Amino acid sequence: MTYEIKGDNLPVVICHLNAGEEMTCESGSMSWMDDEIEMKTQAGGVGKMLGRMFTGENAFQNKYYANKAGEIAFASSFPGSIRAVEVTPDKPVIAQKGAFLASFGQIETSVFFQKKLGAGFFGGEGFLMQKYSGVGIIFLEIDGSAVEYDIAAGDRKIVDTGYLAAMDGTCSIEIVRIKGVKNILLGGEGLFNTVVNGPGHIILQTMPVQNTASLLYNYMPHPSN
């Protein structure tokens, strides 16, 4: 499989499959494909199906099998970026819910839980994430532009909730409350931040979809009571 990402801030990843190769994607993610590609819908077991539903993913996934060499395309559902991330046995990847677009190879998906359950609930988006293990490539949707960092062991990055798109499985995260009454009341940053501890690689996003939705809502006409 080879791929190319096109489309600037309305991106699409076009994957060129050899005969016998296949890809997996969320139900409804395929944008166009050659006639040589065949679709097969699967649930993957009750546990995996419920896990995807729990994190906001579609319950069903589609597999696309190449009977002959051909191409298949997956477009982003929101203005932003698409990133191809390699997954290896020693480097699983953890991504925000809803980020998964498609995958190639032997990829296993599971729900990633924060160790501090209570903090996760109050922290919002940082609590429910997806973990991708195995060998292959996953294509992730990034809200806005992607900014990437390598965090050294013993170092950390403080991120406003919702801006963390993905990280290596070697990283750990915790949700911390912002200190100081004035900072909470006047800072305009909410109550919590996500702290990402190294070592590992992280992908941040510049336009979280929930922030964009809140901004657009303020400009929409609302019916008077």
| Residue 140: partners with Cβ closer than 8 Å, 6 or more residues away | 82, 83, 85, 95, 99, 100, 101, 165, 166, 203
223, part of any domain: no
151: domain CATH number?
3.60.160.10
Per DSSP, helices labelled H in the chain are: 46-54, 117-123, 181-186, 209-219
Whether 65 maps to a domain, the answer reads yes
Average pLDDT over residues 25-42: 89
Whole-structure pTM value: 0.81
Residue 15 tokens read as: 């994957």
Confidence at residue 217, expressed as pLDDT on a 0 to 100 scale: 56
Which tokens go with 183?
């900072």
| Better-scored residue on pLDDT, 203 or 55 | 203
63 touches 21 (CB < 8 A): no
Query: What domain count does the chain have?
Result: 1
Return the percentage of the chain with pLDDT > 90, whole number.
55
Range scoring the smallest mean pLDDT among 120-124, 127-131, 165-169, 187-191: 120-124
Spatial distance between the Cα atoms of 144 and 8, rounded to a whole number of angstroms: 10
Which residue range(s) make up the domain with 206? 2-216
pLDDT band at 48 (very low <50, low <70, confident <90, very high): low
- Kindly state whether residue 225 falls inside one of the protein's structural domains: no
Q: Residue 26 domain-assigned?
A: yes
Residue type, 75: A
78-102 pLDDT, tens digit per residue, is 889 999 999 999 999 999 988 999 9
159 part of a folded domain: yes
State residue 59's pLDDT score.
Answer: 58
Average pLDDT, the chain: 82
Backbone angles phi, psi at 73, to 5 degrees: -125, 145
pLDDT of residue 192: 75
